Amino acid sequence: MLTRAQLHTQLERMEAGLAEIRRTLAAVERKLENRAEAETIRRRPKARYYHRRMSR
């Protein structure tokens, strides 16, 4: 059986690991959101297609 101090130390380590995982997931989520937004803008069809002779 673990002592109270050992359990407390393990709990602190687990909480620190969880906080790190949450920070990592938040960073990955931001990257994916930015990439998806950029891709959406890039794939959006142009409003008009201009021929060589047409004025803009």
pLDDT per residue over 10-54, tens digit each? 999 999 999 999 999 999 999 999 999 999 888 887 766 766 766
3-state secondary structure string across the chain: CCCHHHHHHHHHHHHHHHHHHHHHHHHHHHHHHHHHHHHHHHHCCCCCCCCCCCCC
Whether the full predicted model's pTM is greater than 0.95, yes or no, is no
